[in-house]
Amino acid sequence: MEGSDGGDNFSKLKFKAKSFGSKALNSLKNYKSIISKHSSEEKKLYIKKPSNFKITNSKRFLVSISAVVLIFILLYMAFAKNAYSVSVNNIEVGRIKNKNVAIEAMGGLKKQYEIQSGTSVSFDFEPAYAKVRASKKELLDSKALQEQFVKYISYRVKSYIIYADNEAIACFKTKEEADDVLEAVKENYLKGVKKEELKEITFDKAVEIKEEFGELSAMTSVEKARKFIIDGTNEVKTHKVASGETFWSISRKYDITVEELEKANPEANSARIQIGQELSLIVPKPLIGVKTVEEATYIDKIQFDQKLEFSDSLYKDQTSIRVKGVYGEKEVSAIITKVNGLETDREIIKEKVIKKPKEQILVKGTKEPPPKKGTGVFATPTRGSISSRFGMRRGRHHDGLDIAAPLGTPVKAADGGDVIFVGTSGTYGKLIKIDHGAGFQTWYGHLSAYSVKVGDKVYKGQIIGAVGNTGRSTGPHLHFEIRKNGVPKNPSSYL
């Protein structure tokens, strides 16, 4: 087809040259007529008479003139710009006969990429054109230009992007995948929740799915995106449990709290971890929170008032309840808002009192306490029954007196003195030691709670703790010892 176009162009040029020659011959004949008409002796002209200028062969003259014009036209064509340079990002990728070659190449390439990716694509560039002179050997066809384009261009594919507060967080090939991820995030925080009782299930941010052209490499899977949104990161950091390790020791090792380690491992039982078990060290910081709103009706307590009375039968640091207060009850209707299962707001919309509270009367002592030092006379430290005495027991020596009592029964100092130890100690469990001077110490074991700390000075009868069942114990009781110069003595001899 290009050869046919060239023949037509040459015929047109030949016709134009012939026409130009005819016009030139006619002009010369007109010029000869004008000179003959105005030639006279009166006018002194400095030119030869026209009679000496004669065209003997008009046809030959016309051919000569046409040839000269044709040469000029061919020279113009030889040096004129007859092609286009195609550039991408200011880099020339090839030369073509006309712009249609580039349009065809881009169309073919777009179709090829769409077949590969399975979706629509968009190029990141627009080719630039400049007219240039090029030989036939330099000109590229659409297929050859495609091969050059591949080296320099990039493209984007049609994708569906999840935005949270206008920030892109995940990219997918289909809208269905994006919808599935958002549903999976909701389900993660709605486990065990009765959805039919919820008035609203939304997100704590403005979440939307936008159709855009994006990078193919940015596409992700539903599961990866779900984990990324819930954890807030793609980072993976784990710890393999070794012998003797606990949640507490592992959290200290990595400078995080036990609560954070539990959040990172919701499926793990923090009280029963196994050797070799892998624990995640990534504390979740969700990119999107699931917000729920529910209306709830429940029974709530009404706090009782407390009246204070004074008595000189108690020491100043002692109190006693004369009339125990009783909580009242009310029926409450409220709108409760939660994010990821944690309550963020509670709006009370209605309250109805069911039972009124009863006032509590507290008695506080005014009597000065005894001296906070040893007297040498010891009092029984708690109320209860003796379950095991000092001496041999089941083939071993029992160094104290066991007093059985209900869990939480107050334990009092047997004499005044200085608290020298508060903490856990082997088979004693929770233990308090008091130094009374003159070589005497008293020990209080298996406690459930402490009321004093190391360095405190206590008087005889002051509450220091509560009966418990810690350490090696078969039931709630107080293990009480009296020691003289470090040697256990029979408490019954001193009480």
Q: How many CB atoms lie within 10 A of CB 106?
A: 19
Instruction: Kindly list the distances between the CA atom of residue 437 and the CA atoms of 272, 374, 452, 457, 490, in Å, as whole numbers in the listed order.
Output: 45, 6, 19, 12, 18
pLDDT digits over 218-234, tens only?
A: 889 999 999 999 988 87
CA-CA distance, 410 to 464, in Å (whole number)?
A: 8
CATH 2.70.70.10 in the chain, residue ranges: 385-493
Are 430 and 423 in contact by the 8 Å Cβ rule? The answer is: yes
Q: Is this prediction's pTM over 0.85? A: no
Place of tokens 């009192």: 353
- Per the DSSP assignment, residues forming a β-bridge with 351 are 332
Number of other CB atoms surrounding residue 383 within 10 Å: 14
Query: What is residue 469's three-state secondary structure?
Result: coil
Order of strands across the sheet that contains 342-355: 198-203, 290-302, 328-339, 342-355
pLDDT score at 69: 62
* b/e sequence 407-428, b meaning 16+ C-beta within 10 Å: eebbbbbbbbbbbeebeeeeeb
Quickly name the fold that domain 292-367 has.
Resuscitation-promoting factor rpfb fold (2.20.230)
What's the CATH fold of domain 385-493?
Glucose Permease (Domain IIA) (2.70.70)
**Residues 231-273: tens digit of each pLDDT:** 888 778 899 999 989 999 999 999 989 988 988 888 888 888 8
Q: Which residues make Cβ contacts (< 8 Å) with residue 105, sequence separation at least 6?
A: 142, 143, 145, 146, 149
**Do β-strands 207-214 and 155-164 pair in parallel, antiparallel, or remain unpaired?**
antiparallel
Print pLDDT tens along the chain (495 aa). 344 444 444 454 445 444 544 554 455 455 445 445 544 444 444 444 444 545 556 666 676 677 666 766 565 555 556 799 999 988 999 999 999 999 998 999 889 888 887 888 888 778 999 999 888 898 999 999 989 988 888 888 889 999 999 999 999 989 999 999 999 999 989 988 888 889 999 999 999 999 988 888 888 999 999 999 998 887 788 999 999 899 999 999 999 899 889 888 888 888 888 899 999 998 888 999 999 999 999 999 999 999 999 999 998 888 999 999 999 999 999 999 999 988 999 999 999 999 999 999 999 999 988 888 888 899 999 999 999 999 998 888 999 999 999 999 999 999 999 999 999 999 999 999 999 999 999 999 999 999 999 999 999 999 999 999 999 998 999 999 999 999 999 999 998
Determine if residue 200 is left, alpha or beta; phi over 0 gives left, psi from -120 to 50 gives alpha, anything else beta: beta
- The answer to whether 266 and 315 are in contact (CB under 8 A) is no
In the numeric block, the tokens 């010891």 are attached to: 378
DSSP annotation of 369 reads P
Residues of each domain in the chain carrying CATH 2.20.230.10: 292-367
SS3 476: coil
β 207-214/410-412 pair status? unpaired
| Residue closest to 364 by CA, chosen among 319, 404, 323, 302 | 319
Nearest Cα neighbor of 87 from 156, 147, 155, 148 is 148
